[in-house]
Amino acid sequence: MQKPQILSIPLSAPPQDSAGQRALVFDACHVGVVLRAVLFVETVLGVGAMYGADTLLEWLARLSLLTGGALPATLVWLMAACSLKLLLQRLGTHSQFAAGVALGALAGLYACAMLALAGVGEAPAWLASAASGALLAAALVAALVLRAGGRTPAATTARLAELQSRIRPHFLFNTLNSAIALVREDPAQAEALLEDLSDLFRHALQEQGEVVTLAEEIALARRYLAIEQVRFGPRLQVQWQLDERAHAALLPPLLLQPLVENAVKHGVEPSAHGGKLWVSTQLRGSQVIVRISNTLPTGPVPYPSAVPSQGHGIALANVRARLALLHDVQGEFSAGEKAGCYQVRIALPASTAPLHPPSSHEHPDC
């Protein structure tokens, strides 16, 4: 049995990434960032092209000329920022901001040079182009800084919510009562139950990085369901359909456990005959698909405290927000009833290429 390390690291420690390095606030490597940057620059160019354009055709002509210089410069700025990601991560927040503005000024000069080579304009406006590039870059970097800063309160709120849900008195008491009942009948199972409980609490209370692998989240969900399996017995039927090729995908910590807990609480516990729960992972092209499905409650409730409730959707909202902060438009989240079951579907970008040939993988009926 591993020795528990409850609260061995203070929760108030400064935010760091999974490698213990300084947080990067200037990350231009996300597809969503690229799309927003291009849309922002094109919007500014569209407004600027209105000056001196008397007709729609003149506006389109001016916008086309400006786009021919500004769009390649914007892509160069994004590629440079992404390529220098590791170098920028060593700098402080203000230094990262200054580096982004400097790269924007260079991109502005690059755009001016392209327009000059194309013979647009009488004389190259080098200073104006550099200033415009720096100003646009400053706005983009400020948006990236705000987006990165949004991770800390979202992660903190999610952590507190998960700690509160996982250390709820009834869950702890039910687990301990199950262990007490097993001490004489099956000491080995009682010991395994307490080990799972210890691992679950230790994982919840120790300091987490910004991301973990899907394999780690699956292991945590297994511990939780092993505890609940002792409590519900045959009323809880769990089916795992796991694709190991998908388990290197990255996601925020403590993401799957609250979804599995919701499935047990709202799908299995209120049902007189119990219920089924499916957890599946699948590597599909460049995406990893995670599904958590459960049957809907049927029949009279087995005991008064199991009366089904609609809930407040806090766990689902936290998962959706944290997934969007980490993967932006590359992450997808949906939840709802489907074919007589309730299903949560998460799509993540795959971290590695397939290492093994695809294996037969079937999804549950619902």
The pLDDT of 55-71, averaged and rounded, is: 85
Question: Which pLDDT does position 354 carry in this prediction?
Answer: 43
Model confidence band, residue 122 (pLDDT cutoffs 50, 70, 90): low
Q: What's the pLDDT tens digit per position in 292-305?
A: 999 988 755 555 45
Q: Does position 185 have pLDDT exceeding 60, yes or no? A: yes
Question: Which pLDDT does position 21 carry in this prediction?
Answer: 46
Model confidence band, residue 1 (pLDDT cutoffs 50, 70, 90): very low
Q: What's the pLDDT tens digit per position in 229-242?
A: 887 888 889 999 99
Please give the structure tokens belonging to residue 68: 């021919």
DSSP class of 207: -
Please, where are the H alpha helices in the chain?
31-48, 56-83, 85-89, 93-117, 126-149, 151-166, 169-185, 187-205, 214-232, 256-263, 314-327
Question: Which pLDDT does position 358 carry in this prediction?
Answer: 45
Among the residue ranges 2-11, 56-65, 92-101, the one predicted with the least confidence is 2-11
Dist CA 17 CA 323 (whole Å): 16
Q: What's the pLDDT tens digit per position in 343-356?
A: 999 999 887 544 44
Please give the structure tokens belonging to residue 132: 């415009």
| Integer angstrom CA distances of residue 214 from 221, 324, 340 | 11, 16, 27
Question: Which pLDDT does position 321 carry in this prediction?
Answer: 79
Contact between residue 207 and residue 20 where contact means Cβ atoms under 8 Å apart: no
Model confidence band, residue 5 (pLDDT cutoffs 50, 70, 90): very low
Question: Which pLDDT does position 3 carry in this prediction?
Answer: 39
Q: Does position 259 have pLDDT exceeding 50, yes or no? A: yes
Please, which residues have CB within 8 angstroms of residue 56's CB and are 6 or more apart in sequence? none
Share the mean pLDDT of the chain.
75
Please give the structure tokens belonging to residue 9: 């690291």
Question: Which pLDDT does position 205 carry in this prediction?
Answer: 57
- This prediction has a pTM of 0.58
